[in-house]
Structure 1
Amino acid sequence: MNKVKNKSESAKYANRLIHETSPYLLQHAHNPVDWYPWGSEALEKARREDRPVFLSIGYTACHWCHVLNHESFENPEVAAIMNEHFVSIKVDREERPDLDDIYMNAVVALTGQGGWPMSVFLTPDGVPFYGGTYGPPTPRGGMPGFVNVLLGVADAWDNRRDDVLRGGASVLQHIQPIDLPRRAGDVMELSDGILKAGVESAWRQFDWRSAGWGGAPKFPQAMTIEFLLRYHHRSGESLALEMAAKTLTAMARGGLYDQLGGGFHRYATDNVWLVPHFEKMLYDNAQLARVYLHAFQVTGDGDYRRAVEETLKYVMREMTDPAGGFYSSQDADSEGEEGKFFIWQPAEIRALLGDDAALFVDAYGVTERGNFEGRNILSLVSDPATLARKHNLAEDEMEARLAAARARLLAEREKRVHPGADDKVLAGWNGLMLAAFAEAARVLRDELYRQTAERNADFILREMRTSAGRLYRTWRKGRAKLNGYLEDYANFIEGLLALYETTFDARWFIAARELADSAIEHFADPNGGFFDTSDDHETLVTRPKSLQDNAVPSGNAMMATVLLRLAALTGEGRYADLAEGALRPIQPLLAEHPTAFAQGLCALTFALGPTKEIAIVGDPNDAGTQFLLDATFRKYRPFQVVALARRDETSPIPLMAGREMRDGKPTASVCLNFACRLPVTDAGELEKQLDETHF
């Protein structure tokens, strides 16, 4: 590490992180800690000098990561201890989900709980032997001091090495992936019973008072809601829809949702969706925009549509790189205070809104006392009809006034110091948002959404794909790097398939299929399912294979989802076989833990069908073709795939083979369970066929 002369006090030092692209790593590039990025240089130094590794894992939007940095890593005295006794490595968990998964499992095995910032102590071979999360520099509130931990670990390494190595070996055994396909008696057949059991389990865990699952902190659970919508569509079960709608309404009305600027915060710190942890993550907003869109299709609730539109506008306004990629996250803090950008005093609102202030404060629960550190998080607390009567307004007029008030407050808020954004572009997270924009463009008939989706897909394929057709994980300011992970392939393929069904430009299908074949080649496990890392990835202490969802869908479950769609479009059984191979061994877990395996349940609903394949021949710009497409996409139909080709066009999609127009008119053919109905040219007839459950 070098000292930098003639710099401010906070920038006296420069370590090896100055060469990184991650904003999170760059935030630590001028710490007095002699940080290394993860790699052979750091591990070889640890071996050569016989020192343990201190591994710190966090991310830009993590509030307590910033606190730990300020309290300890910026402190020269703490840094001196770290530099003397350890080789220190800093990792951005969003860039390296493999390391995050491996070492978070280790921390949970060691302590019974996990979280970020994550602090793990490793042997020079990468074996974890001690770890935890945030700790103050000196003991406080029952927490051990970080300095004491550092000195204690250093002493154990120097004087009780055998105990340390035995402990590490035990932890390593605990974090090896479970070989589920070999668990005798646990493998179940794919069946409707699993879906029903999953819904019943979700019902038992549901919070009927405040909606959602579990207590504080309460997370959005977009994948669970999507599964419930699919189950309702499949079975007509009203309870599934009730749980989904109750949760979506509570979240959209609460402080979890940014009532002025759109977009959802990471989670609620309470159990009533009022007080959020204020960071905004791309993956949350991608998944929530899509599930609110589906709920709008099912219910026609305009509040759900508003949530979709405002969330996508937020992403376009604040989370989109000029090159076309989507940024990863937005911080919780601004000007050193959590949530400062988002909260209000009543006097500010009265000064800005004048006569409409009384209506607004009633609608959004604004009080002099406040609901967050003496200020107000905006949340809809009043029933619209009751509020309209109280203010002697028609509901339409009231909604118009509230919309105008929100716009005025948003314009004023834009003058504040904004939270920082992590402007790295991650392929998998972009795939989730690509799917949201593509599907919203189709359902809401919004050309700007379509353009945004196409621009993003073009960007990823141009800037984040290798010459060999593989994906990179991350891109920032013109520099792409790191092998893509399974989740990058699966989520981006999902986005490409959604974009194909919006534009019917065959290049999106071709790219999706090429990436799927590449993922099969490099990630497939011969025992079933897929590893998180490719076969040419660096060798770590274990090769992770994540089966359950985290904040993003399980790579295995999403890969199963896209392979099932490709099987329907191509007729290739190998895709379906691989998908079922990924799903079959986790069947017992799907039923017992639906909120942890919700994407697997979504994939299973598609696998069980009935899945319809719709082939349309016609010019997309022709009115007759548009009528057929409107009939196809008007309703929420999660168990269908759609292909389209122009007359006399040679399509690369096998589903289109041999399809022709009837009587020179745009024509649709619907197939179900290897049986096809007669082609139709009338949109009403097509919709009848789509509503049938069997032929």
Structure 2
Amino acid sequence: MVAANRLALEKSPYLQSHSKNPVDWYPWGEEAFARARDLERPIFLSIGYSTCHWCHVMERESFEDEDVAKILNDNYVAIKVDREERPDIDRVYMRVCQSLTGRGGWPLTILMTPEGNPFFAATYLPKENRGQATGLIGLLLSAADLWNKEPDRVIESAKKLINGLQDAIESQYSGEAPEVNPHLFDVACRHAETTYDAKYGGFGDAPKFPAPHQLSFLLSRYRRTGKPHLLKMVTTTLDGMRAGGLWDHVGGGFHRYSTDRKWLTPHFEKMLYDQAGLAKIYLDTYLATGHEEYALTVRQILSYVDRDLSSPEGGFCCGEDADSEGEEGLFYTWTGAELETLLGDDAKAFMASFGVLPEGNFLEEGSGTRSGRNILHVPLPGQFGLQSGVEQPATRETRHADSLKKLFEARKGRIRPLLDDKVLTGWSAFAATAFIRAGAALGDERILKRGKVCVDFLLSTMGEGGTLYRRHKDGESSIEGFSEDYAFLGRAALELYTATFENYYLDRAANLADTLAERFICEGGTLSDTNDSGEELVLDFSDATDTAMPSSTSVAYELFIGLWLLTGDSLWEERGGRLVAANAALLTRYPEAFTHLLTSLSVALESARRIEVVGERDSFDVAKARETLAAKYMPETFIGFEEALVNGVSVRICSKTACHTELKGLLELDEWLKRESID
């Protein structure tokens, strides 16, 4: 048996999973860099995360292999990083990989000098050469040979590479900031139109990722312009994802992404941030359209998260793996024989409804051959996107509810994919915001309370001086928080204020936003991952683009704008303006990469509105007004409260600087909201 290496002492499930490798792994830290300097060896850096399928593949093929381990142990200092715990490290070396190879992904493989300067970058590598793909063994041997023969040349080359990248990054932000105006919204919409898949929904070809903040942006533009094709792009995409294998029809929740254009075959990991972002867009689309299937999907997503991703302390765990028993998707897929045994006389109708084939519909990714197993999905005529008169997936699931319950119970007997049970402040706050918003909009106190429990837990872990910690596990909070953590928790606190009218949460949101502005905004106005005393890495840059999650810059801007509208303090508007100006060069060049930021920017530039509910805090009319407003889709609006002795309730409709309409009572509020609706 292999003795555990240093990673056994780490809290990260991803790092712990490598603790029995024969590779002499170090966690990121001074000990590893000092060892590399003392031995005058290069560093092998591997970055991944617990639910990453290809990370597991590379571990099985290479890091559990004695031959690979010997090469690494004899020639390198090997460092493992959990990208979710250290997004700052991941962002730096991913930028290197993208610059050198034109692509990125995980596992991320870096060779670098003892100073951390990279001289090689790649993603997954097979153990041996495979066709045109470089094998890890060959790479390690040739790089070690080059290092031993010409170390100064490698060191100098790495320095030039990192200096060149830094110069290129700085040049993107140099010069006078271009004007940011509403024209950018049209540019981003046109980009979506050109990449939109009208048949299946989504954008681009395979692999196809959920794009919740892009869909949210398009929905907000529909709200602003009334253009029906913008709504169509959103609903067709949501319908396609919900009908396909991307959705877990037995247990709820979405898998990470689809390997095909039709949303049929996913990579099966389930990530917390996907559930949070998708719950929000399904909720907003329900509020905009009134279609109940979207509300049902929201409830099912949040039920999955609460049931399977909740931590004992009240936060949310990061996600679930794609693999179980060494095989991807085994937990989620079914053979025809299994279904016949479990469902008996109901099997035939069920299998027809959910696209089950005797030979299986799940193709092995490597060979393209049928595995004999099936991914449940709702096959629809000609496409997965719903057509007029076609049965909704939710309707079909209701018709087969008893069969789905039997499969859910049967699945409990299977070995479940690994749960990454660490709690990250930013991710949990993102999910809490979805719970709070959904609970308020759907009038479900239980859902709202679950989000509140999470926010209260995260706020309770703050250290001296309001310091947030990134990771919470086994009763320990550690790793000083990043800008993402402050921005997302501030936004969650602001959402909780709107849902409860408790000033405590408005104050907490403002405190977190103050820390963001004072400790994370750099001299040039960009938002750094780390605070002013954080670890210095080999590249210094800020990435404000919205990826799988909205960026910390986008969420910070949304937080600042919300505080400006709710408090009337122009300092928040100024701080938001600095963030936008600092990123204006890239924003105006590639607006489609900033869709979450654009959604908030449209509030500031076009339609900012504050609604003030005035009355006695605990009165029925105030509660009813709050519930009524929460149930409307008004992305341009922030809702606040003013305590006053009034008869019933009064509601003020305000622009950026002044209130222009006052509604007396719930009846006038209802009439005003009817006029606000989009037909």
| TM-score, normalised via structure 1 length | 0.91
Q: 1:160 aligns to what? A: 150
Partners of 2:541 and 2:83 in 1: how far apart?
14
- Taking a change above 3 Å as real, the CA distance of residues 121 and 196 of structure 1, as seen in their structure-2 partners, is same
- Structure 1 residue 287: deviation in Å? 0.5
Which residue matches 2:406? 408
Q: Secondary structure at the match of 1:204?
A: helix
**Aligned position for 1:651:** none
Deviation string, structure 1 residues 322-378 (Cα, Å, up to 9, x no partner)? 111100010000111100011112232233333433332222111212210221101
Q: Does the CA contact (< 8 Å) of 2:616 and 2:645 recur in 1?
A: no
Query: Which stretch of the first structure deviates more once superposed, 62-71 or 343-352?
Result: 343-352
Aligned counterpart in structure 2 of residue 106 of structure 1, from 96, 100, 113:
96
1:483-538 superposed Cα distances (whole Å, 9 cap, x missing partner): 11111111111111111111222222111111111111110122123111111101
Per the alignment, residue 202 of structure 1 pairs with 192
Residues in 2 aligned to 1:126 and 1:379: alpha-carbon distance in whole angstroms = 46
Number of the residue aligned with 1:3: none
Letter matched to residue 370 of structure 1: G
Could you tell me how far 1:542 is from its partner in structure 2?
2.0
The C-alpha deviation readout for 1:590-632, integer Å capped at 9, x for no partner, is 4654542211211211221422212223345533223322332
Of residues 460, 463, 478, the one that matches 1:462 is 460
Q: For residues 231-630 of structure 1, what are the structure 2 equivalents within 5 Å?
A: 231-372=221-362, 373-382=371-380, 400-463=398-461, 465-587=462-584, 589-590=586-587, 593-619=590-616, 621-630=618-627
Q: What is the CA-CA distance between 1:227 and the residue it aligns to?
A: 0.3
Deviation per CA, 1:278-336: give whole Å up to 9, x if none: 00000111100111100111111222112111110001111001111100010000111
**In the TM superposition, what is the alpha-carbon distance from 1:682 to its structure 2 partner?**
1.9
* Shift in Å, 1:389: 11
Give, in whole Å, the separation in 2 of the partners of 1:592 and 1:243.
23
Matches of 1:607 and 1:260 in 2, distance apart?
42
Aligned partners of 1:586, 1:394: CA distance in 2, in Å?
42
Structure 2 CA distance, aligned partners of 1:83 and 1:414?
41
Q: C-alpha displacement at 1:540, in angstroms? A: 1.2
Note the C-alpha offset of 1:396: 11
Contact 1:529 1:582 in 2 (8 A): yes
The answer for the alignment partner of 1:6 in structure 2 is: none
Higher mean C-alpha deviation, range 427-436 or range 611-620? 611-620
Aligned to 2:651: 668
1:164 and 1:409 map into 2 onto residues whose CA distance is: 57
Query: Counterpart of 2:667 in structure 1: which amino acid?
Result: G
Which 4+ residue blocks in structure 1 deviate beyond 6 angstroms? Answer: 386-390, 393-398
Aligned runs of 1:65-214 on 2, under 5 Å?
Answer: 65-176=55-166, 178-179=169-170, 182-184=173-175, 187-214=177-204
Determine if contact 2:254/2:275 at 8 Å carries over to the other structure: yes
**Using the alignment, how far apart are the partners of 1:395 and 1:44 within structure 2?**
57
Partner of 1:655: none
Give 2:639's aligned residue: 642
**1:264 to partner: Cα distance:** 0.6
The aligned length equals 665
SS at 1:307 equivalent: helix
User: Taking structure 1 as reference, are residues 400 and 113 closer, same or farther at Cα in structure 2, changes over 3 Å only?
Assistant: closer
Taking a change above 3 Å as real, the CA distance of residues 397 and 201 of structure 1, as seen in their structure-2 partners, is closer
- TM-score, normalising length from structure 2? 0.93
Give the percent of matched residue pairs that are identical in Structure 1 and Structure 2.
Answer: 39
Question: Deviations 1:359-412 (Å, cap 9, x if unpaired)?
Answer: 32222111212210221101111479x99999xx99999664223322222122
SS in 1 for 2:213: helix
Over 3 Å counting, the alpha-carbon distance change for 1:430 and 1:661 in structure 2 is same
Gaps of 5+ in 2: 363-370
Q: Which residue of 2 aligns with 1:657?
A: none
AA partner of residue 502 (structure 2) = D
| Structure 1 residue 633, shift from structure 2 partner | 2.0
SS in 2 for 1:341: coil
How far has the Cα of 1:588 moved from its partner?
5.7
Q: Is the 1:15–1:30 Cα contact (8 Å) retained in structure 2? A: yes
**Residue aligning to 2:9:** 19
CA distance in 1, matches of 2:286, 2:388: 24
| Residue 159 to residue 209, structure 1, CA distance change in 2 (3 Å) | same
- Aligned equivalents of 2:270, 2:91: Cα separation in 1: 21
Q: Partners in 1 of 2:657 and 2:343 — Cα distance?
A: 61
Shift of 1:189: 2.7
Cα shift at 1:587: 4.4
Alpha carbons of structure 1 residues 55 and 84: separation in structure 2 relative to 1, 3 Å: same
Letter in 1 for 2:408: L
CA contact 1:50–1:124 (8 Å) conserved in 2: yes
User: Equivalent residue of 1:630, what SS?
Assistant: helix
- Counterpart CA distance in 1 for 2:65 and 2:145 is 21
* Structure-2 change in CA distance of 1:142 and 1:397 (3 Å): closer
1:689 Cα deviation from its structure 2 partner: 4.8
Does the 8 Å contact 2:649/2:666 carry over to 1? no
Closer, same or farther: CA 522–314 of 1 in aligned 2, 3 Å: same
Quick check: 1:194–1:587 contact (8 Å CA) kept in 2? no
Query: Which consecutive unaligned segments of at least 5 residues does structure 1 have?
Result: 1-8, 647-659
2:662 pairs with one of 651, 663, 679: 679
The aligned amino acid for 2:190 is E
Q: CA RMSD in A?
A: 2.5
Partner Cα distance (1:240, 1:661) in 2: 44
